[in-house]
Amino acid sequence: MLTPPPLSLYLHLPWCIAKCPYCDFNSHALAGELPEGDYIDALLADLEVDLPRVWGRTLSSIFIGGGTPSLFSADAIDRLLSGVRARLALAPDAEITMEANPGAVEHDRFEGYRAAGVNRISLGVQSFDNEQLKRLGRIHSATEASRAIEAVTRAGFERFNLDLMWALPGQTIEQALADLEQALAFEPRHLSHYQLTIEPNTVFAARPPELPEEEIIWDMQQTCQERLLDAGLTSYEISAWAAPGQASRHNLNYWCFGDYLGIGAGAHGKITLPAKGHILRTRRKSHPRPYLKAQENGSFIAEEAIVPDEQLPFEYFLNRFRLDQPVPWTEFETRTGLDRERIAESMDRARELGLIDSDETCIFRTARGKRYLNDLQALFLPR
């Protein structure tokens, strides 16, 4: 039976100082003055569009992403979060994360963000190597990255994430490990450690850099993973490492097929509607200009569609199998509204290939299933 899962809120702030050549997110280089006040007004008006679909539900987490949200002042973030609280109930222990980039934030703003209610910072460091930062199009230096981390901890944020990339152009195993050592020196309780991949419609796709060979990438991954384990961090998701109890609750809700309101230019949302017996996907207008203009008539939504039943198993397992934890059958059934018999054929094939095990209560992804994750996920595509 279809049951509402936990509910999160994603707020997208789309501007950056410059667009990085590897980035395929909906972000836009800032030209002129930041329309801070108008955009906060638009976000709150946009949120009201979705309110009738989630009446009575409580937010378990908020994530302010981008773009570069730290371009916005602490006062703007305070007004945004105050507006959210006036419209939706927040759990007493709600996780409220904001992304920030070194070089795109005045360090004393972190105190202001914390006073506004942000209780977790995700800092886009990417590398501590100045040459790599230039190749990646980052606007900060290694020194600025270190100072930003120090400013985050000085502001009193006990929970913060560092984004760190590996398999960078020309990078050696020793260089990747040196980056990791510098990150670990700050004792982060959460680290997003992810491989640089070339995405379509990016500058790197048009002019690909020379990346390390596959054998070096594999050895780099194994070496870095061993060091992360030695540091007391656990890989609870393919690219996410955390100390005990420090996993990102917001991201866990995504990966467990939870619900989330997607508010802001280009934001995507997912809302379970048990009374109607379906799950709804939404997408907002992508470019900031038409998105801001949508305040005139509330036309923020560019697209919305019901997820067909035959697509639900793939959508569920696409993210769920990224987690290093068993999948309860009850979670699959309540969050998709489907009986387990609907996926019997795919399950049998996955077992034959050694990608999963299962019993009456749970599905278990094997080590082989983790290594060949794409193949495992593809077994649940509609036929």
CA gap 266, 243 in Å, rounded: 32
Q: What is residue 4's predicted lDDT score, i.e. its pLDDT?
A: 95
Hey, which bits of the chain come out as E strands? 7-13, 15-16, 28-29, 58-66, 89-100, 120-126, 160-166, 190-195, 234-237, 240-242, 259-264, 268-273, 278-284, 301-306, 327-328, 356-358, 362-365
CA gap 182, 171 in Å, rounded: 16
Q: Is 380 helix (H, G, I), strand (E, B) or coil?
A: coil
Q: What is residue 383's predicted lDDT score, i.e. its pLDDT?
A: 84
Contact, 128 vs 146, CB < 8 A? yes
Q: Where do runs of H (alpha helix) occur along 278-355?
A: 288-293, 312-320, 329-336, 344-352
89's torsion region: left (phi>0), alpha (psi -120 to 50) or beta?
beta
Tokens of 287: 């470019």
CA gap 56, 135 in Å, rounded: 48
Beta bridge partner(s), residue 61: 8, 95
Tokens of 261: 């309101």
Q: What is residue 327's predicted lDDT score, i.e. its pLDDT?
A: 97
Q: How many CB atoms lie within 10 A of CB 96?
A: 22
Q: Residue-wise pLDDT tens for the chain (383 aa)?
A: 899 999 999 999 999 998 999 998 899 999 889 999 999 999 999 999 999 999 999 999 999 999 999 999 999 999 999 999 999 999 999 999 999 999 877 767 999 999 999 999 999 999 999 999 999 999 999 999 999 999 999 999 999 999 999 999 999 999 999 999 999 999 999 999 999 999 999 999 999 999 999 999 999 999 999 999 999 999 999 999 999 999 999 999 999 999 999 999 999 999 999 999 999 999 999 999 999 999 999 999 999 999 999 999 999 999 999 999 999 999 999 999 999 999 999 999 999 999 999 999 999 999 999 999 999 999 999 98
Q: Give the distance, in angstroms, between the CA of residue 289 and the centroid of all CA atoms in the same chain.
A: 24
Q: What is residue 271's predicted lDDT score, i.e. its pLDDT?
A: 98
Mode of pairing for the β-strands spanning 120-126 and 160-166:
parallel
Q: What is residue 243's predicted lDDT score, i.e. its pLDDT?
A: 97
* Complete domains list, the chain, with CATH: 7-253 (3.20.20.70), 310-378 (1.10.10.10)
Overall residue count recorded for the chain in this entry: 383
215's torsion region: left (phi>0), alpha (psi -120 to 50) or beta?
alpha
CA gap 22, 167 in Å, rounded: 13
Residues 6+ apart with CB under 8 A from 151: 107, 108, 110
- pLDDT tens for each residue of 321-341: 999 999 999 999 999 999 999
CA gap 332, 330 in Å, rounded: 5
Nearest CA-CA partner of 304 in 9, 16, 29, 50: 50
Contact, 380 vs 313, CB < 8 A? yes
